């Protein structure tokens, strides 16, 4: 049973790579399935106490890949403009920068110690909501897009602050 969360994450990763090649009529179902696997993998890992750092990393990679591919597919099909993509990915870009910076400083543990945050979970939910709205209720795309951008920026600030605190704590501890 300990592999179930990782199987769900791997399934979401596979759905991400299939997404652009599927007919548009399937996209909503892939997004719903992606959102369900995103919720279930974490819930099952915590519920069955089989969470691991590696599993969390696989989940994060699957999440980021799924969101990025769906966003780029929606942009390429003119569902919304490209210039919103960096803002929608503000949290993801901040986390990627933090990981690269920690690796560069050889302080990988400062990054590894960063747990998932409520702000990140809410930002991800906002992204999935945006995908659903873009496909099913396009007239409401603009306000949901603005809300998703705001949630992503707020999560980016939260993760950035957490990373700075982790670096400062490591520096004080001499690690």
pLDDT tens-digit profile of 31-43?
Answer: 999 999 999 998 9
pLDDT greater than 80 at residue 17: yes
Other CB atoms closer than 10 Å to residue 40's CB: what's the count? 16
> Where is pLDDT greater, at 114 or 67?
67
85, burial (CB in 10 Å: exposed 0-12, middle 13-18, buried 19+): middle
Q: What is d(CA 3, CA 16) in angstroms, rounded to the nearest whole number?
A: 20
pLDDT-wise least confident of 2-6, 67-71, 91-95, 118-122: 91-95
Give residue-wise pLDDT tens across range 124-151: 999 999 999 999 999 999 999 999 999 9
Average pLDDT of the residues of the chain: 89
Give the residue ranges of DSSP H helices in the chain.
4-18, 24-47, 53-76, 85-88, 90-104, 108-112, 118-136, 141-173
- Tell me if 152 sits within 8 A of 91, measured CB to CB: yes
- pTM value is 0.88
Give the C-alpha distances (Å, rounded to integers) separating 64 from 18, 23, 34, 48. Answer: 15, 22, 11, 24
DSSP summary character for residue 21: G
**How far is C-alpha 47 from the geometric centre of its chain's CA atoms?**
21
Residue boundaries of the structural domains of the chain: 1-78, 80-175
Q: What is d(CA 2, CA 155) in angstroms, rounded to the nearest whole number?
A: 29
90: tokens are 């503000």
- Tell me if 162 sits within 8 A of 99, measured CB to CB: no
Three-class secondary structure of residue 112 per DSSP: helix
The band of 112, judged by pLDDT with boundaries at 50, 70 and 90, is low
């Amino acid at each position: 049973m300990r592999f179930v969360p990782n199987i769900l994450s791997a399934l979401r990763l596979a759905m991400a790579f299939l997404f652009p090649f599927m007919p548009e009529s399937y996209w909503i179902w892939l997004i719903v399935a992606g959102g369900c696997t995103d919720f279930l993998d974490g819930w099952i890992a915590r519920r069955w106490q089989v969470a691991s750092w590696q599993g969390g990393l696989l989940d994060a990679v699957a999440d980021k890949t799924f969101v990025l591919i769906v966003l780029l597919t929606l942009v390429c099909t003119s569902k919304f403009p490209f210039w919103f993509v960096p803002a929608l990915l503000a949290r993801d870009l901040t986390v990627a920068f933090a990981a690269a910076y920690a690796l560069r400083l050889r302080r990988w543990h400062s990054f590894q110690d960063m747990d998932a945050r409520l702000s990140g979970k809410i930002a991800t939910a906002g992204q999935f909501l945006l995908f659903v709205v873009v496909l099913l209720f396009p007239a409401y795309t603009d306000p949901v897009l603005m809300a998703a951008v705001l949630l992503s920026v707020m999560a980016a600030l939260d993760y950035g602050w957490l990373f700075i605190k982790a670096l400062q704590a490591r520096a004080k501890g001499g690690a």
